[in-house]
Chain A
Amino acid sequence: MTDAHTAGPFIAAIDQGTTSSRCIVFDKDGRIVAVDQKEHEQIFPKPGWVEHDAKEIWTNVQEVVDGAVSKAGITSADVKAIGITNQRETTLLWDKNTGEPVHNAIVWQDTRTAELCRELGRNVGQDRFRRETGLPLASYFAGPKIRWLLDNVDGLRERAEAGDILFGTMDSWVIWNLTGGVNGGVHVTDVTNASRTLLMNLHTMAWDDKILSSMDVPAAVLPEIRSSAEVYGEAASGALQGVPVASALGDQQAALFGQTCYAEGEAKSTYGTGTFLLMNTGDEPVNSYNGLLTTVGYQIGDNKPVYALEGAIAVTGSLVQWMRDQMGLISTAAEIETLALSVEDNGGAYFVPAFSGLFAPYWRDDARGVIAGLTRYVTKAHLARAVLEATAWQTREIVDAMTKDSGVELTALKVDGGMTSNNLLMQNLSDFLDAPVVRPLVAETTCLGAAYAAGLAVGFWPDTDALRANWRRAAEWTPQMDDDTRKREYKSWLKAVERTMGWIEEDSKE
């Protein structure tokens, strides 16, 4: 997309995602100048376990940064800042003297800590740390993953207590390496990533000593918690050597920022591997009584942190990938729409993809996937419909919870992410929500948000109003489903969800 209209200077954003790492170079109008992207291996050592090779990820990050800069035909002198965004909760411990990971990174989807979480709940249960952290005790979050590593990697606890081991989510890993690694790399994380560990107190923005001792995690491994937009250090090598590293945000918070949801009540939903709906709740954390998470939205430099309510769905785009890779029913993700459009409806089938339990609003580790309503009549095309509808119904459940917790009625849903290129899905969403669905002009809002935050930190953009002016509507879907059909279908969906629960029984749990 390089052409005469785009002139420097630029901001580079690194998105270290679940399936790939990418780097995008943006100009002042928020236009994409160049992109480079590389997938990494998904390692599945056992059912329910998901790991990444952190060394591979760091190599890929270096490659895509160099790739994007070279495709843009620019040099480090043209780039004012680097922004970082990342898959959240994915947990890594590494040796600070050698830079070597002590184990593969444990990915957010991994359920190996389900039993540990139950133990940690003691007699209180899932909500033991909710008041401090805004989160239920679930295998999704980082803290229990750290504990698992300390318990299961030989000799690790001693090394950690001796101060030789560093913990980080992928933001910390990328920033530490980018700023020099064993040669002076900075060990930091931002408030949004820290708010996903179950270890940070939402009200003080600091590690919570009580929880650390309950979870038996030594404070020595933890990074310093910083704001989402400030200069943490400079790139020590590569095509962007010397450029300030000036933002870090979890990918979903970055998308919230990229969608310019800067006012209380504004919300976005991102459709990628999973789906995450976040609503800005201003400078007060709002407690959820309906299975949502209370989390940090962003914090710009010395400003007050902005909080968000979040509805998290574990499996949406990855269900489409499953149809492609495991079932072989389609050859590209986009073909799911072609297959689905070959029939009129779902033929009575409902697909609840509780592959790693159910996230919001249920938080049930013991749930597993179900296809309900099967008859002899159902074809693969009906299943394709059911796959897309699963994403839309799961969104509906979260929107309902959001309305209850926030008291804000949704007037329109801002969407982004890879699945928004699916027209049928977007129409389903609008139909099931009975509200308009709006896609912005830049679908890469995750990278854009990281770029915006980094640009604010170095004065490339003056304020959030300037960023808001860049937002443009690219498409809008409006509801076309009648009320009766919507009610009937929702009821069937909820029945199917019920059938997923309690599949894993206490004593067979890992």
Chain B
Amino acid sequence: MARSIQSLERAAAVLRLLAGGERRLGLSEIASALDLAKGTAHGLLRTLQQEGFVEQEPVSGRYQLGAELLRLGNSYLDVHELRARALPWTDDLARSSGEAVFLGVLHQQGVLIVHHVFRPDDSRQVLEIGAMRPLHSTALGKVLSAYDPVAHSEALDAGMEQLTSRTLTDAAEFEKELDLTRARGWAGDVEETWDGVASIAAPIHDRRRMPVGAVALTGAVERVCSDAGNAELRADLVAAVRDCARAVARDLGADRF
């Protein structure tokens, strides 16, 4: 068994002690309870304080658990909250682009569609909320895999099935695609999932720069691509998708960037 790191063990003991009741504790109480030298205890507390795990009351100088611990426990964003916050912005994206808009999150080995706005042309369309999409071929899946390490490994584990002649099935090529996605901040899917369909997606970051989901615009390849060869995605649509993702992020309390 690997040797454990003593200072981490001690930090954990401090947190456990502070979590033990409603009370706040002073430095000497903590030091004596854990059988530590005052200097050692002080060093631990200062580091924990810097990380936000412990807070010091200004008047009494006593220590208590910090807000960061709470945030760690609750960092998961409810997908229905995400949909409610995203709704006005995704509506606006559908209206301005004339294409369908989706919101996706990682679920098991794929992308779960949690929100869908119809293409605003009054044609018959079916609501796809609850549907699963592949991680390796869709724009949503690529964005999630590029920014979320868990999604990345799920994508590789899931295997990269050939869906159309343009699907990436080689792991090295997929990695290159994810590098590109991170470098430019968005991902595309030009007939890699369905023939004749293209899509553009951007990540929605929360205030800790974690990707909580992704927003995508999807439409016929002739409309979403700018050139005759259907390879280049339209720059104005890319900008609109990224604006939408940023607007949702702002609503979720992410910093302006």
B125 contact set on A, CB distance < 8 A: 476
Binds B, one of A103-111, A177-185, A332-340, A488-496: A332-340
Contact B91 A474 (CB under 8 A): yes
Report if A477-B127 is in contact (Cβ < 8 Å); known contacts: A1-B247, A421-B87: yes
Main SS at interface, chain B: helix
Query: Would you call A376 an interface residue if the criterion is a C-beta within 8 Å of the partner chain's C-beta atoms?
Result: no
Number of residues in B with C-beta < 8 Å to the partner?
25
Q: Which of A410-467 contact B (CB under 8 A)?
A: 418, 421-423, 441-444
Closest to A35 in B: B88
Query: Would you call A509 an interface residue if the criterion is a C-beta within 8 Å of the partner chain's C-beta atoms?
Result: no
Contact A1 B92 (CB under 8 A): yes
Closest to A477 in B: B127
Number of residues in A with C-beta < 8 Å to the partner?
28
Binds A, one of B30-38, B115-123, B151-159, B185-193: B115-123
Binds A, one of B9-17, B78-86, B138-146, B163-171: B78-86
> Whole-angstrom distance between the alpha carbons of A98 and B139 in the complex?
61
In angstroms, how far is the closest chain A Cβ from the Cβ of B240?
8
Report if A334-B78 is in contact (Cβ < 8 Å); known contacts: A3-B96, A476-B118: yes
Contact A32 B92 (CB under 8 A): yes
> Whole-angstrom distance between the alpha carbons of A444 and B120 in the complex?
17
Q: Which of B232-257 contact A (CB under 8 A)?
A: 240, 243, 247
Q: Which of B98-119 contact A (CB under 8 A)?
A: 116-118
Query: Would you call B220 an interface residue if the criterion is a C-beta within 8 Å of the partner chain's C-beta atoms?
Result: no
Contact A423 B120 (CB under 8 A): no
Contact of B81 among A5, A332, A444, A473 (CB under 8 A): A332
In angstroms, how far is the closest chain A Cβ from the Cβ of B251?
11
Chain B window 57-87, contacts with chain A (Cβ cutoff 8 Å), 1 for yes, 0 for no: 0000000000000000000001111011001
> Whole-angstrom distance between the alpha carbons of A335 and B89 in the complex?
20
A32 contact set on B, CB distance < 8 A: 88, 92
Contact B95 A472 (CB under 8 A): yes
Contact A31 B79 (CB under 8 A): no
Closest to B124 in A: A476
Closest to A335 in B: B78
> Whole-angstrom distance between the alpha carbons of A320 and B168 in the complex?
45
A472 contact set on B, CB distance < 8 A: 94-95, 120, 122
Contact B96 A31 (CB under 8 A): yes
Contact of A474 among B81, B96, B118 (CB under 8 A): B118
Closest to B91 in A: A441
Query: Would you call A124 an interface residue if the criterion is a C-beta within 8 Å of the partner chain's C-beta atoms?
Result: no
> Whole-angstrom distance between the alpha carbons of A492 and B247 in the complex?
44
Closest to A421 in B: B84
Query: Would you call A153 an interface residue if the criterion is a C-beta within 8 Å of the partner chain's C-beta atoms?
Result: no
Report if A1-B89 is in contact (Cβ < 8 Å); known contacts: A31-B95, A441-B95, A475-B127: yes
In angstroms, how far is the closest chain A Cβ from the Cβ of B102?
12
Chain A window 329-350, contacts with chain B (Cβ cutoff 8 Å), 1 for yes, 0 for no: 0001111111000000000000
Contact B80 A338 (CB under 8 A): yes
B127 contact set on A, CB distance < 8 A: 475-477
Query: Would you call B129 an interface residue if the criterion is a C-beta within 8 Å of the partner chain's C-beta atoms?
Result: yes
Closest to B82 in A: A334
Q: Which of A204-252 contact B (CB under 8 A)?
A: none
> Whole-angstrom distance between the alpha carbons of A339 and B88 in the complex?
23
> Whole-angstrom distance between the alpha carbons of A441 and B240 in the complex?
17
User: Which of B94, B129, B247 has its CB near the most chain A CB atoms (within 10 A)?
Assistant: B129
In angstroms, how far is the closest chain B Cβ from the Cβ of A15?
14
Contact B92 A31 (CB under 8 A): yes
Contact B89 A422 (CB under 8 A): no
Contact of A422 among B80, B91, B92, B247 (CB under 8 A): B80
Contact B91 A443 (CB under 8 A): yes
Contact B96 A5 (CB under 8 A): yes
> Whole-angstrom distance between the alpha carbons of A440 and B96 in the complex?
15
Report if A441-B243 is in contact (Cβ < 8 Å); known contacts: A5-B96, A334-B84, A473-B122: no
Closest to A33 in B: B92
Contact B80 A474 (CB under 8 A): no
A422 contact set on B, CB distance < 8 A: 80, 84
> Whole-angstrom distance between the alpha carbons of A459 and B44 in the complex?
70
In angstroms, how far is the closest chain B Cβ from the Cβ of A478?
8
Closest to B79 in A: A338
> Whole-angstrom distance between the alpha carbons of A338 and B77 in the complex?
11
Residues of chain B touching chain A, judged by Cβ–Cβ distance below 8 Å, are 78-81, 83-84, 87-89, 91-92, 94-96, 116-118, 120, 122, 125, 127, 129, 240, 243, 247
25 contacts between A and B (CB under 8 A): A1-B89, A31-B95, A32-B88, A333-B84, A334-B80, A335-B78, A335-B81, A338-B80, A421-B87, A422-B80, A423-B80, A423-B83, A441-B91, A441-B94, A441-B95, A441-B120, A443-B88, A472-B95, A472-B122, A473-B118, A474-B117, A474-B118, A475-B117, A475-B118, A475-B127
Q: Which 9 pairs, one residue from A and one from B, show the smallest C-beta to C-beta distance?
A: A472-B120, A334-B80, A421-B84, A334-B81, A337-B80, A334-B84, A421-B87, A1-B92, A474-B117
Residues of chain A touching chain B, judged by Cβ–Cβ distance below 8 Å, are 1, 3, 5, 29, 31-32, 35, 332-338, 418, 421-423, 441-444, 472-477
18 further interface pairs, Cβ-Cβ under 8 Å (given A1-B89, A338-B80, A444-B88): A3-B240, A5-B96, A31-B95, A32-B88, A32-B92, A334-B80, A334-B81, A334-B84, A336-B80, A421-B84, A421-B87, A423-B129, A443-B88, A474-B117, A475-B116, A475-B127, A476-B125, A476-B127
